[in-house]
């Protein structure tokens, strides 16, 4: 079952979240008055403590986050004027070295800009490359057509085929060498249940079984044992549903629902623990600091 964790220091929605060195990084988002923030907060699930992180170089909401090579990256997002940003940042280790997320004096460094602005998309890392699919960009209200690929070794961008079902406010996760895009919505079509996976080796997308609960504004992540988990979202209400995809069975199953449903939330795994992070408790501009954990040890131990 879910367990309550200490609330984050600030209440936000439309955040970006990723994990490096066992520390959760929650960045950017919107506050209750609609202001876009540079706020970064770090959560250590081992000690159940929150600390302030270095602020982002510029305020963004609906940004995309991924961890690769032990570092957290933040890509794009909406600027305060509502336009999609092309900026990208890496959380650098502090003077003591170690994990970029936990070293004293950690700071953000600009990396190569995206080829074009992108917001409300999905991001995940496979090896040294981060894949960004779906979302809005480069213009406001324009569904993105291509998948952007960032090589963290060379600092260069390339493009790959776009997700077949163009959409925004979708979830994304990497599992078993594939990049999964989950749910989302369009302005004309509403919430979607579509799930598609990209195989970098084949350069092709494949339709997977639909998400049991159609929803946009959700978040997705992968377990350490290779399953894809989707949680939250919004429609006429916020969705409590948490659903897990087993690639080996090509099937979805239900997990215990979130006690406090949210959209625009962060969702990560640390070891065998799933963490749902701040987001909106009601549709539209609402914020919360709620943090909750679900034990995933029933899936088996993480590979060593």
Q: Which residues of the chain have pLDDT under 50?
A: 98-99
Q: 83: how many CB neighbours lie within 10 A of its CB?
A: 15
Q: What is the pTM of this model?
A: 0.96
Is residue 88 within 8 Å of 114, Cβ to Cβ?
A: yes
**What pLDDT score does 262 carry?**
98
List of domains in the chain: 2-298 (2.120.10.80)
Is residue 135 within 8 Å of 153, Cβ to Cβ?
A: no
Report the alpha-carbon distance of residue 210 to residue 301 in Å, rounded. 27
Tokens of 246: 């087993």
Beta-strand pair 2-4/204-208: unpaired
Residue 270 main-chain phi, psi, to 5 deg: -125, 110
**What pLDDT score does 97 carry?**
52
Report the alpha-carbon distance of residue 13 to residue 278 in Å, rounded. 6
Nearest one of 170, 171, 101, 172 to 131, comparing CA atoms: 172
3-class secondary structure, 297: helix
**What pLDDT score does 204 carry?**
98
How does DSSP assign 101-148, residue by residue? TTSTT-EEEEEPPPSS--BS-EEEEETTEEEEESSB-SSTT-B--SEE
**What pLDDT score does 94 carry?**
63
- Give the count of alpha carbons within 13 A of 244, CB side only: 20
**What pLDDT score does 105 carry?**
76
Nearest one of 235, 236, 274 to 258, comparing CA atoms: 274
Q: How is the chain split among helix, strand and coil, in percent rounded to 5?
A: 0, 45, 55
The residues that bridge with 18 in the sheet, in sequence order, are: 25
- DSSP 8-state secondary structure symbol assigned to residue 299: G
Report the alpha-carbon distance of residue 116 to residue 39 in Å, rounded. 24
**What pLDDT score does 87 carry?**
98
Report the alpha-carbon distance of residue 58 to residue 79 in Å, rounded. 8
**What pLDDT score does 92 carry?**
82
**What pLDDT score does 103 carry?**
59
Nearest one of 289, 296, 301 to 4, comparing CA atoms: 289
Residue 85 main-chain phi, psi, to 5 deg: -85, 150
Q: 244: how many CB neighbours lie within 10 A of its CB?
A: 18
Residue 277 main-chain phi, psi, to 5 deg: -115, 175
**What pLDDT score does 140 carry?**
87
**What pLDDT score does 102 carry?**
57
DSSP H or E run through 175: strand 171-175
DSSP H or E run through 2: strand 2-4
Q: 164: how many CB neighbours lie within 10 A of its CB?
A: 14
């Amino acid at each position: 079952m879910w367990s309550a964790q200490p609330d984050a220091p600030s209440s936000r929605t439309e955040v970006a979240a990723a994990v490096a060195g066992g520390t959760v990084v929650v960045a950017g988002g919107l506050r209750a008055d609609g202001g876009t923030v540079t706020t970064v907060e770090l959560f250590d699930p081992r000690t159940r403590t929150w600390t302030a992180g270095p602020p982002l170089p510029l305020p963004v909401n609906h940004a995309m986050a991924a961890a690769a090579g032990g570092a957290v990256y933040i890509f794009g997002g909406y600027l305060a004027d509502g336009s999609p940003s092309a900026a990208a940042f890496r959380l650098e280790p502090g003077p003591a070295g170690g994990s970029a997320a936990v070293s004293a004096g950690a700071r953000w460094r600009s990396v190569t800009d995206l080829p074009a602005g992108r917001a409300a998309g999905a991001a995940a890392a496979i090896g040294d490359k981060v894949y960004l699919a779906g979302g809005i960009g480069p213009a406001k209200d324009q569904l993105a057509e291509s998948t952007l690929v960032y090589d963290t070794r060379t600092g260069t961008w390339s493009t790959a085929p776009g997700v077949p079902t163009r959409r925004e406010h979708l979830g994304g996760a990497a599992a078993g060498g594939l990049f999964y895009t989950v749910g989302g919505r369009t302005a004309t079509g509403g919430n979607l249940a579509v799930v598609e996976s990209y195989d970098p080796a084949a350069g092709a997308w494949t339709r997977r079984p639909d998400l049991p609960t159609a929803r946009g504004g959700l978040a997705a992540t992968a377990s350490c044992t290779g399953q894809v988990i989707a949680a939250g979202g919004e429609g006429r209400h916020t969705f409590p549903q948490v659903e897990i995809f087993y690639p080996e069975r090509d099937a979805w199953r239900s997990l215990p629902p979130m006690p406090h449903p949210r959209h625009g939330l962060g969702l990560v795994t640390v070891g065998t623990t799933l963490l749902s992070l701040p987001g909106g408790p009601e549709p539209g501009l609402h914020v919360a600091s709620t943090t909750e954990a679900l034990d995933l040890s029933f899936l088996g131990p993480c590979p060593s």
